[in-house]
Amino acid sequence: MKNKLSFITIVLLISTIKSIAQAPGTFTDARDGKVYKTVTIGTQTWLAENLAFKAASDCWAYDNSQNNVEVYGYLYTWKAAQDACPTGWHLPSDAEWKILVDYLGGMGSAGYKLKETDISHWLSPNEGATNQSGFTALPGGFSTGDGKFYYIGKQGYWWSSTMYDSYNAYIRHAEYANGMILQLNYSTLDAFSVRCVKD
């Protein structure tokens, strides 16, 4: 009996250690109970999914379809994006995006390591995408201030917290046809995806 108990105790301990080891790979948003995958890349920890928290305003599902939220998350104006991330996480600055992109080889090729593989969500050919980083970048498209939607499946756009000028802010952009991650700037009234980085 003593040996049996010892064996059971060992099994329970191994199970506990295993679950603790997996814990850093997920995060539960206390606001709505959604569980996100997370990934540590270099010195940074990111959500490995686009944010899908429904903000009080200035936040839309692509084509106003909730089915798109399940995969691509919501699209947020820059103002809404400032407060969209859960406690303990924040909207990355342009400098934080640069750290990520530089760590993965720079603007010319980091997209290959960031983009989800195959053509389940990215338009063909999505050539060279490896998702080596585990970031799983998705092509959620964007929405303009007049309520029109563009480029789902073709391009992904993610806000930074950094303003370019009085009317525009920096974003990061990826597309299906190459491995580039571009630094662009768009109107703060447009709506893009959000990836949160850990404080």
- The residue-averaged pLDDT of 19-36 equals 75
Residues 63, 149: Cα–Cα separation, whole Å: 6
Predicted local confidence at residue 99, as pLDDT: 98
pLDDT in tens, 176-193: 999 999 999 999 999 999
Is position 18 within any domain?
no
Predicted local confidence at residue 67, as pLDDT: 96
Is position 29 within any domain?
no
Q: How many domains does the chain have?
A: 1
- The residue-averaged pLDDT of 134-143 equals 97
- The residue-averaged pLDDT of 59-88 equals 97
Is position 30 within any domain?
no
Is position 141 within any domain?
yes
- The residue-averaged pLDDT of 76-88 equals 98
* Domain with 53 in it: 38-198
Is position 19 within any domain?
no
Predicted local confidence at residue 5, as pLDDT: 42
Is position 2 within any domain?
no
Predicted local confidence at residue 4, as pLDDT: 43
Is position 78 within any domain?
yes
pLDDT band at 16; cut points 50, 70, 90: very low
DSSP per-residue codes, 139-175: ---EE-TTS-EE-TTTEEEEEEEEESSSSEEEEEEEE
User: How do beta strands 35-41 and 26-28 pair?
Assistant: antiparallel
Percent of the chain clearing pLDDT 90 (strictly above):
86
- Which DSSP letter does residue 177 get? T
Is position 56 within any domain?
yes
Of the two residues 112 and 5, the one the predictor is more confident about is 112
Examine the pLDDT at 110 and tell me if it is beyond 70: yes
pTM of this structure: 0.86
